[in-house]
Copies of this chain bind each other. A is one copy, B any other.
């Protein structure tokens, strides 16, 4: 066995975890979300940048507004999920580097002084953080339903008024309901993905 992670955890996070399309009514609490964040916040990014921002959509009014930006196929499940999280990046994350990357505080200006550089970096590192977040949801025994089918510009303008945020994903969160998923799709084999040079 080449893996150290125990098989129960392998199943919980990867092998048996599935993207859920239906959910039970059981609420997802702020305590659960805090526990998820306080686990995945430690996962690595470049220069310890932490561009990820999470909007927990809890009010019926905000949920209704969000639905108007979702693609039609994603609307029913986004309307029904116990909790919906909007995952975006703050393209002005560099302001935090002097405290978050204290051994090289100049990174704020020397590396990330220009907005296009920050946007590219936030897109990559924010996506890493989205991946970690999905794993964290599963670590809490919950199912995630990540979606990218939405009007990103609409969400950016409607939910972030400063022009500095870019949504990357919207994630439904809860316990899987009836017929929560289709049979698992195939995966590429190791030899199709990995090459030795």
A residues neighboring B (CB under 8 Å): 1-6, 8-10, 12-15, 17, 19, 29-44, 46, 48, 50, 52-59, 62, 96, 99-103, 121, 123-124, 127-132, 134-135, 138-141, 144, 146-149, 159, 168, 182, 184-188, 190, 193-197
26 contacts between A and B (CB under 8 A): A2-B29, A3-B36, A3-B139, A4-B140, A4-B141, A5-B12, A6-B9, A13-B135, A14-B39, A15-B42, A33-B194, A34-B190, A44-B134, A44-B144, A46-B146, A53-B194, A54-B195, A55-B194, A56-B196, A96-B188, A99-B186, A100-B185, A102-B185, A103-B185, A124-B148, A127-B127
A101 contacts which chain B residues (CB < 8 A)?
A: 185
